[in-house]
Amino acid sequence: MKTQKVVTLTQFISEQQSLFPDSSGDLTRIFMDIILAAKIVNRDVRKAGLVDILGTHGTTNIQGEEVKKLDVLANEEFMSALSLGGDCCAILSEENDDVVHVQNHINNKPKYIVAMDPLDGSSNIDVNASIGTIFSIFRRRSMAWNPVTMEDCLQKGINQIAAGYIIYGSSTMLVYTTGQGVNGFTLDSSIGEFCLSHPDIKIPKDGKIFSVNEGNYAEFPKGVQQYVDYCKESDTATSRPYSARYIGSLIADFHRNLLKGGIFIYPPTAKAPSGKLRLMYECNPMAFIMEQAGGKASTGDRRILEVIPEKLHQRVPLFIGSENMVKLAESMYKSGLSQELNG
């Protein structure tokens, strides 16, 4: 019987590190901490209906959103793995108002900062739909022995060293990039390892899926309304109408579109003029992955990765997915804006 060659995420990362003989191994160890926390959160998600971790925590986060128990738990797991690992100097989490400085006893010159959304798509927790974790890693600018500054934390997305997400779906997957393409690993729970299942992921240039919360249609800018109408029109040459797919969990919607081709839009709305999604730990990491997979990510008028962050929990509109779909949505959005300006 032929045995199938299994490449684990740990082996894959170690191999990548060996390509850079001068590397300190800090980034690899941060990945190991993330993998450990992901396995723990995965275990908790899988028994969510059995133990008392469903429902709300009774507090709200800095964005005024209701915090779910699993949000708190996932945040604690990632914070604890990264802090105990000792290879990053600061963590920016959706669940913490401010940057958490890591007191370091292990690595006395940690140079990496981690931004993360420990549990994205929380409104799906109680209904058994896919949720996930998003992370972004970048290098501090100031010298390692000085306290981490706000400039260290508020860097453009193009400065990311690595980004990834874990999707807790029908199976659990970790997808990441370090700027050398995108690879996906599925958790084989029988051996407790993430195994390479989706090497070198590339998104099709065109897709047939559009993902947007159409409930907000009346509040969308004109150009976004026009693009949504376009997606729903019949046209055999372009295989329209496209399919509408929106779970309301960024990672799940993103992951499907990444594998099949499509566009995800969270536009500005009348109620939320900057959109809903956060730049540092949602849009930037997803944009890095999307570009590495051959797709495109935009605020509607500029590349996500070039937005200069002003605040830790800043929101930006997001148009992300297959290159040609994002280009068209962007151009309709822009011409809609100029139509609105000119009355």
Binding residues for ligand FDP, rule: CB under 6 A, are: 120-123, 213, 248-250, 276-277, 282
Closest to ligand FDP by CB, 56 vs 123, is 123
- Estimate the share of the chain in helix, then strand, then coil, as percent rounded to the nearest 5: 35, 25, 40
* Contact of 328 with 262, CB cutoff 8 Å: no
Min dist CB 179 to ligand FDP, Å, is: 24
Min dist CB 120 to ligand FDP, Å, is: 5
Min dist CB 213 to ligand FDP, Å, is: 3
Closest to ligand FDP by CB, 16 vs 213, is 213
Residue in this structure with the two tokens 């209904």, named with its chain if needed: 127
Min dist CB 241 to ligand FDP, Å, is: 21
Closest to ligand FDP by CB, 197 vs 213, is 213
* Contact of 297 with 263, CB cutoff 8 Å: no
Instruction: Read off the DSSP letter of residue 80.
Output: H
Distance CA 323, CA 202 (A): 11
Closest to ligand FDP by CB, 277 vs 293, is 277
* Contact of 263 with 207, CB cutoff 8 Å: yes
* Contact of 244 with 252, CB cutoff 8 Å: no
Closest to ligand FDP by CB, 27 vs 312, is 312
SS3 at position 194: strand
Closest to ligand FDP by CB, 231 vs 250, is 250
Closest CA relative to residue 188, chosen from 32, 1, 45, 9: 9
Min dist CB 238 to ligand FDP, Å, is: 26
Distance CA 21, CA 84 (A): 26
Min dist CB 118 to ligand FDP, Å, is: 11
